[in-house]
Amino acid sequence: MKIALLVAYDGTDFHGFARQKHARTVQGELESRLSLLLRAPVETVGAGRTDAGVHAAGQVVSFDVSREIDPAWVQMRLNKLLAPEVVVRTAAKVPDDFSARFSATRRAYEYRLYRSPVPDPFRDRFALWVPGPLSLSKMRAAARALIGEHDFSSFCRLPEPDVSLVRNVHDARWVDLGDGLLRFDIEAGAFCHQMVRSLVGTMVDIGRGRKRAGDMAAIIRATDRAAASQPAPPHGLCLWEVVY
């Protein structure tokens, strides 16, 4: 049978989601505990490969087991071993051809930042502190230029040769949550490496007046990483939802 888990985690102390031989990762911790519980090696598939320090509220993980097992039992035991740093929100049996990665049709990320005279220790683990003037209207105008199908080479680490960086962005918007807290929402079929953080870094520079809102379309057309700003730090980013 195949089981899918809906997983949330605080990525602060992990070297990303994907397993690494000599580093602590979310996938590595899940597979280690699952192998212990099921008394057999377990390999998982994740919906998104979040970077070091990036969080998730809606990561989806799937894996095969060689016998029938109660998903609720798996959820309960994993939470006893991993919570609160990693929490299995739900667990369910899924069709044998389901893949957390390849069956996904859309992924949604959030990036949070906050404005205050001094840093806030109760926010700073999950949101970026941005002091000084910041124009939300300019950042919103820049975000509108992202919607649609574009080559996002200006905002992504270069992949292997002949790999396309064309992505279709279905929604991109800044939301004012009040009390100085801002949230950037973006949804697409897929994302390339560091894409969301690079978009946020560029839009924060636009909000600060270092670039113009109208520059965003030109930066996209340039397909040149040097045209965009440096990526925003990882701790404000969260994989919010995966749609199937």
Q: With the CA atoms of 51, 211, 186 and 235 taken in that order, what torsion angle do they form, in degrees rounded to the nearest 10?
A: 30
For residue 110, give the 3-state DSSP assignment.
Answer: strand
Q: Distance between the two ends of the chain, CA-based, in angstroms?
A: 19
Q: How many helices (H) and strands (E) does the chain have?
A: 5, 10
- 185 included as an active-site residue: no
CA distance 244 to 241: 10
- Partnered with residue 171 across adjacent β-strands are 187
Question: What angle, 0 to 180 degrees and rounded to 10, lies between the N-to-C axes of helices 195-207 and 136-144?
Answer: 140
| Catalytic hit among 51, 64, 70, 96 | 51
Buried b (16+ CB within 10 A) or exposed e, 5-39: bbbbbbbeebbbbebeeeeebbbbbbbebbeeebe
Catalytically active residues, by annotation: 51
